[in-house]
């Protein structure tokens, strides 16, 4: 130590760097300067020793703080508890909430789609059943195109023609308590559509059984649209213009039972009629007996709704 070289300002500057020197945070040049000064300054060397001593004392004191072993065990247990198993993460509350939200959205979407499907189906059913109701009202009720005394079965079969004569027996058998007053092929004014029309009387009212080609159109097949099943035939029901209608379909025809009888009665009658009529119509379709050379038995018939036109067949 060179006491003669003692410079308090230099010492002050060096001491400002001592802690950084101990922490090895000084630049190389500053470290060299500190070391050079320490070689020649006993006071600063003692100060460095003192600070080193404080640091060691502090480290020792800190190390005297020993954590309880129970804490380590507790952490270990909790970590094991939190480790996700296959379902562990799945059952996380946030995950469950997200999943629930997704399910609600999907179910909501599905419910909305189903609701739209049902509404659309009901609209289609109503529009198809409206054909039968309209035919019944126009021909039987407003047109009164039936005699007071029932025509003979031979006459009716002749009016129906060979294509549909066989259906008369089915209608008579499946409509106990009803008398077939009239059976003919009827045309709709202003439309190429025609229909086979059985006008019956029973239970104090007039009931129509109507068959018409569906030209490829189809009634919806699903819950909310159908009202029942008879055998393998779906049944549809509707109430239009004061009339109750029940409908069904074969491969190429729609069938309607229309009357002002209660809906349940109308449906019951349709339940009895639909399977044998559908079978008869399908059998006729398969044998081509019902088909005319052009587009079927109705294509060449005049498009007008008159009693005379009915008899052309």
Nearer to other proteins, 45 or 306 (CB): 45
* Residue 84 makes contact with other proteins by CB under 8 A: yes
State in angstroms the smallest separation of the CB of 27 from other proteins: 13
* Residue 295 makes contact with other proteins by CB under 8 A: no
What is the contact mask toward other proteins in residues 49 to 68, using x (rule: CB under 8 A)?
-xx-xxx-xxxxxxxxxxxx
Residue 136 backbone phi and psi in degrees, to 5: -65, -45
* Residue 75 makes contact with other proteins by CB under 8 A: yes
The strand order across the sheet containing 228-230 reads 179-187, 194-202, 205-213, 253-259, 243-249, 233-240, 228-230
Contacting other proteins (CB under 8 A), which of 33, 38, 40, 43? Answer: 43
* Residue 77 makes contact with other proteins by CB under 8 A: no
* Residue 89 makes contact with other proteins by CB under 8 A: yes
Percent of residues in the chain assigned helix, strand, coil, to nearest 5 = 55, 15, 30
Is residue 4 exposed (0-12), middle (13-18) or buried (19+ Cβ within 10 Å)? exposed
Q: How big is the chain by its Cα radius of gyration, in Å?
A: 49
Question: By CB under 8 A, what part of segment 236-255 binds other proteins?
Answer: none
Contacting other proteins (CB under 8 A), which of 73, 74, 112, 304? Answer: 74
Which residue in this structure is represented by tokens 């070289």?
5
Other C-beta atoms closer than 10 Å to the C-beta of 273 total: 23
Q: Where are the beta strands (DSSP E) in 63-106?
A: none
* Residue 12 makes contact with other proteins by CB under 8 A: yes
Other C-beta atoms closer than 10 Å to the C-beta of 265 total: 16
Question: By CB under 8 A, what part of segment 93-132 binds other proteins?
Answer: 94-95
Q: Which stretch binds other proteins (CB under 8 A): 15-23, 236-244, 245-253, 302-310?
A: 15-23
Question: Which residues of the chain form contacts with other proteins (CB under 8 A)?
Answer: 3, 8, 11-13, 15-16, 19-20, 23, 25, 42-43, 46-47, 50-51, 53-55, 57-68, 71-72, 74-76, 78-80, 82-84, 88-90, 92, 94-95
């Amino acid at each position: 130590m060179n006491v003669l070289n003692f410079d308090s300002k230099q010492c002050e500057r060096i001491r400002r760097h001592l802690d950084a020197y101990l922490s090895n945070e000084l630049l190389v040049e500053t470290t060299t300067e500190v070391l050079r000064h320490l070689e020649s300054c006993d006071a600063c060397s003692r100060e460095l020793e003192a600070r080193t001593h404080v640091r060691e004392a502090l480290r020792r004191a800190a190390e005297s703080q020993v954590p309880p072993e129970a804490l380590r065990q507790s952490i270990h247990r909790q970590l094991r508890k939190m480790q996700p198993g296959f379902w562990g993460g799945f059952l996380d509350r946030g995950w469950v909430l997200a999943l629930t939200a997704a399910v609600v959205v999907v179910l909501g979407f599905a419910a909305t789609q189903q609701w739209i499907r049902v509404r659309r189906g009901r609209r289609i059913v109503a529009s198809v059943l409206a054909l039968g109701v309209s035919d019944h009202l126009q021909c039987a009720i407003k047109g009164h195109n039936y005699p007071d005394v029932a025509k003979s079965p031979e006459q009716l079969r002749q009016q129906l023609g060979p294509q549909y004569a066989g259906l008369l027996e089915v209608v008579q058998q499946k409509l106990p308590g009803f008398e077939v007053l009239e059976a003919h092929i009827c045309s709709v004014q202003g439309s190429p559509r025609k229909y086979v029309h059985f006008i019956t009387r029973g239970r104090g009212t007039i009931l129509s059984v109507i068959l018409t080609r569906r030209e490829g159109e189809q009634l919806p097949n699903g819950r909310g649209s159908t009202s029942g099943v008879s055998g393998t035939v779906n049944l549809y029901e509707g109430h239009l213009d004061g009339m109750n209608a029940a409908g069904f379909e074969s491969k190429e025809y729609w069938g309607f039972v229309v009357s002002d009888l209660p809906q349940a009665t109308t449906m019951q009658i349709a339940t009895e009629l639909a399977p044998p009529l559908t079978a008869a119509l399908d059998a006729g379709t398969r044998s081509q007996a019902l088909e005319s050379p052009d587009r079927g038995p109705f294509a060449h018939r005049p498009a007008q709704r008159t009693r005379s036109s009915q008899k052309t067949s």
